[in-house]
């Protein structure tokens, strides 16, 4: 399969906040403007395309718009304790987070609980890879997540 297409569109970005319990400075709540690039390798179809650019961009956009302007929390962390707080009917439900002796409370609607043990760029790349792979299972995929310009994590198979 010698053909690869690369999706590197400056519009494929999301802004989100997170923290990393295992890191001194990054254990404080902060944000990034993430950008995502994807490569697909596969056979040419009857139209001589590896993949329809519109189709892959649209899927990727659906995934990253779910992460945009949200607080990303690692639901699989052993070290960050996350629990839902039920609130009175007229208040939004909340998510309470404890780690390293600190406590945060977020409105549940602002939070994305991700099935990963830490919200590093590496594991965000793997998370996006797994979601894309469900739809693009006939391709070899590579997902790159940059948390700032020049700091890029790559997940491939």
Q: 5 or 26: whose CB is closer to Zn ion?
A: 26
Alpha-carbon gap, residue 7 to 40, rounded angstroms: 8
State the minimum distance, in angstroms, from the CB of residue 16 to Zn ion: 9
Report DSSP letters for 49-89, one per residue: -SS-HHHHHHHHHHHHHTTTTEEEEETT-SSSEEEEE---T
CB 144 within 8 A of CB 37: yes
Q: 17 or 61: whose CB is closer to Zn ion?
A: 17
State the minimum distance, in angstroms, from the CB of residue 18 to Zn ion: 6
* Total interface residues for Zn ion by CB under 5 A: 1
Q: Which residues 22-61 are close enough to bind Zn ion by CB under 5 A?
A: 26
Alpha-carbon gap, residue 120 to 22, rounded angstroms: 10
State the minimum distance, in angstroms, from the CB of residue 26 to Zn ion: 5
Q: 26 or 154: whose CB is closer to Zn ion?
A: 26
Nearest position to Zn ion, beta carbon: 26
- The pair of structure tokens assigned to 11 is 């519009």
Alpha-carbon gap, residue 16 to 128, rounded angstroms: 15
Q: 26 or 63: whose CB is closer to Zn ion?
A: 26
In the complex, the residues that contact Zn ion under the rule CB under 5 A are 26
């Amino acid at each position: 399969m010698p053909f690869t297409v690369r999706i590197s569109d400056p519009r494929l970005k999301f802004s989100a906040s997170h923290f990393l319990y295992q890191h001194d400075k990054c254990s404080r709540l902060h944000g990034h403007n993430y950008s995502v690039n994807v490569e697909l390798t596969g056979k040419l179809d009857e139209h001589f395309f590896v993949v329809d650019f519109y189709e892959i961009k649209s899927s990727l956009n659906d995934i990253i718009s779910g992460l945009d302007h949200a607080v990303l929390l690692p639901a699989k962390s052993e070290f960050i304790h996350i629990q839902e707080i039920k609130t009175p009917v007229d208040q939004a439900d909340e998510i309470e987070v404890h780690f390293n002796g600190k406590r945060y409370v977020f409105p549940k609607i602002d939070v994305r609980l991700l099935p990963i043990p830490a919200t590093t760029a590496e594991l965000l790349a793997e998370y996006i890879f797994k979601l894309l792979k469900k739809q693009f299972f006939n391709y070899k995929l590579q997902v790159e997540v940059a948390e700032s310009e020049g700091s890029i994590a790559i997940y491939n198979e």
